[in-house]
Amino acid sequence: MNKLTKLPFLFIPVLLLLLLFAGVSVAQSGENELLRIIAFGAHPDDCEINAGGVAAMWAAQGHAFRCVSLTNGDIGHFGMSGGELALRRMQEVEAAAEILGISTRVFDIHDGELMPTLENRKEVAREIRNWQADIVMVHRRYDYHADHRYSGVLVDDAIILVEAKFFTPDTPPLPRSPVVLYYDDRFQRPLPFVPDIVVSIDDVVDQKRAALEQMPSQFSDKDSWTYGRAENVPEDEETRLRLRIDALMNRNVSIADRFRTNLVELYGEEAGNSIQYAEAFQLSEFGRQVTVDELMQLFPGFD
Ligand SMILES: [Zn+2]
């Protein structure tokens, strides 16, 4: 056998191996594509309160979820403030992140002083790029708290720029715009929140509760508990913490009840009606546009 006739015998096994690897990688990227989600909140607890359930569910499936607080939370307490409180807040969100299985970051901007500046727009764009985000979450810009409002404005303003390679050229641009989703809120003017996706968090209620329990500076301090006004404040810290977290989890019950029609549409009659706790999100018009079916494929817990 001369050299030329031997060649097909060498090529065929190599070709088969290449086809095998190509087939495996196509199957993996199609069915098990791992997502990268970044959720901004104004304060160190907003992301956990609004998306802690879906964060735990995504993380359990191996997706990468990051909570970012745009301020350090250094004034929202009646007994302490400044650097001491900022450090305490950071330790608390880190403990919560460990329970949820996610990553976390706190920006060193004073609580109550977040502004929609060009500098902050660049920082938010860099953060979204560095995380290589497929999905971005944030407050709507219609909210009682200026820090919440400006968090929404900063993300809204940064989104169009994360693909623009000459904006903050020190950080490489994203290849495509992320999907942007807003947290649920109850404000009616000028526009009420209208959910595009409502997700059952029944399977991770205990995990979300446990994460929120890591934040006593937010929920169990006696002076802050009722903003120093209410009577009959429970004496022991454990009771105060439990009652505040009950109230927070009741928000998830209220979301499930308010958006029951959406749950039935998304999960079917029987499952939709039996869901107790939910988190809801509205698609922003400024990020990548997707259908409800595509959202269901992105979120955990849908068949
Ligand atoms: Zn807040």
For the cut 80, the answer to whether the pLDDT of residue 84 exceeds it is yes
Query: How does residue 25 score in pLDDT terms, banded at 50, 70 and 90?
Result: very low
Residue 114's CB is within 10 A of a number of other CB atoms, namely 23
Least trusted range by pLDDT, from 38-47, 52-61, 93-102, 229-238 = 229-238
CA of 236 to the centre of ligand 1 (A): 25
197-221: pLDDT as tens digits: 999 999 999 999 999 999 999 998 8
What gap in Å lies between CA 303 and CA 294, rounded to an integer? Answer: 12
CA of 148 to the centre of ligand 1 (A): 6
Contacts of 38 (CB under 8 A, 6+ apart): 65, 66, 68, 127, 128, 131, 133, 135, 136, 137
The mean pLDDT of 54-65, rounded to a whole number, is: 98
Percent residues over pLDDT 90 in the chain:
81
151-202: pLDDT as tens digits: 999 999 999 999 999 999 999 999 999 999 999 999 999 999 999 999 999 9
Domains of the chain: 35-298 (3.40.50.10320)
| Mean pLDDT taken over the chain | 90
Residue 95's CB is within 10 A of a number of other CB atoms, namely 15
CA of 220 to the centre of ligand 1 (A): 16
Residue 198's CB is within 10 A of a number of other CB atoms, namely 25
CA of 46 to the centre of ligand 1 (A): 5
Residue 263 and residue 200 in contact, taking contact as beta carbons nearer than 8 Å? yes
